[in-house]
């Protein structure tokens, strides 16, 4: 089995389709439009990725582009990240730490989190411990969340411009995309290497918008953390929270961190786009 076949999707059944029986839209100052429950959208089972050059003309609706976070949104790297942190804690402190503490750091640049967790340890050495262990593991542990590959392929066919805005380094993100057969999928990629100001500040999203040549009101930002929600709203972009988030707690959903929409599965994003 090729790596591309192995990672096509994890719906597990040939009859897998997007269902959207419940779509939640949350009011926000930057999004006056409210969504109601809509009928399920069916995604072609043969959905595949297309290169940016092969996409259709821009869609007719207001939204022209979608920015995605990577970890915890497109890529199911949650356990890989947790295990990398636990290895680092064991190496430096000789003990594990609470997983929930780690989940709440998702979305923050690794360097910032590392400096806060281990102020007494050499930062570069701590980063090396984390990155070396993950690099030795991750080629066997890159996964996509169920339905995400079909969603991205369908967005491409419908003409949406797509980008990734992540706190990962460019090198680690590119390795993941190549392994997943998605290296030519996104027209814009913004990593922690591309800006000195990170989520929840607006700069990463604004760079993505500039690369896609769209205004903030012409895009959605899909993510799983309060860093993503804050970055989107600070940039004037409507924010979509994925229902499989492990880091976003109910008490986090306030102010700029409150999502405009929440989706329970990947296909529900299409319903949002059809209403915008």
Going by C-beta distance under 8 Å and a sequence separation of 6 or more, which residues neighbour residue 27?
34, 260
Beta carbons of 107 and 226 less than 8 angstroms apart: yes
Catalytic site residue from 5, 9, 58, 69 = 69
Q: Is 5 a catalytic residue?
A: no
Q: Produce one character per residue of 61-98: b if its CB has 16 or more CB atoms within 10 Å, e if not.
A: eebbbbbbbbbbbbbbbbebbbbbbbbbbeebeeeeee
Residues taking part in catalysis: 69
């Amino acid at each position: 089995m090729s790596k591309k076949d192995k990672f096509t999707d994890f719906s597990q059944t040939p009859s897998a389709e997007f269902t959207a029986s419940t779509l939640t839209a949350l009011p926000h100052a930057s999004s006056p439009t409210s969504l109601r429950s809509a009928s399920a959208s069916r995604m072609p089972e043969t959905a595949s990725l297309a290169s940016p050059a092969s996409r259709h003309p821009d869609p007719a609706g207001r939204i022209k582009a979608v920015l995605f976070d990577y970890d915890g949104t497109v890529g199911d790297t949650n356990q890989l990240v947790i295990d990398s942190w636990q290895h680092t804690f064991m190496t430096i402190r000789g003990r594990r730490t609470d997983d929930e503490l780690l989940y709440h750091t998702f979305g923050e640049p690794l360097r910032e989190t590392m400096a806060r967790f281990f102020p007494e340890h050499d930062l570069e050495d701590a980063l090396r411990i984390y990155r070396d262990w993950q690099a030795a593991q991750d080629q066997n542990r890159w996964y996509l969340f169920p339905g995400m590959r079909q969603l991205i392929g369908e967005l491409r066919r419908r003409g949406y411009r797509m980008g990734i805005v992540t706190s990962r380094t460019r090198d680690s993100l590119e390795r993941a995309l190549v392994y997943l057969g998605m290296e030519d999928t996104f027209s814009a990629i913004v990593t922690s290497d591309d800006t000195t100001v990170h989520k929840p500040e607006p700069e990463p999203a604004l760079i993505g918008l500039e690369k896609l040549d769209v205004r903030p009101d012409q895009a959605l930002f899909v993510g799983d953390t309060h860093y993503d929600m804050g970055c989107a709203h600070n940039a004037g972009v409507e924010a979509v929270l994925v229902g499989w988030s492990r880091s976003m707690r109910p008490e986090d959903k306030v102010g700029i961190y409150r999502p405009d929409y929440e989706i329970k599965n990947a296909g529900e994003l299409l319903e949002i786009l059809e209403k915008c």
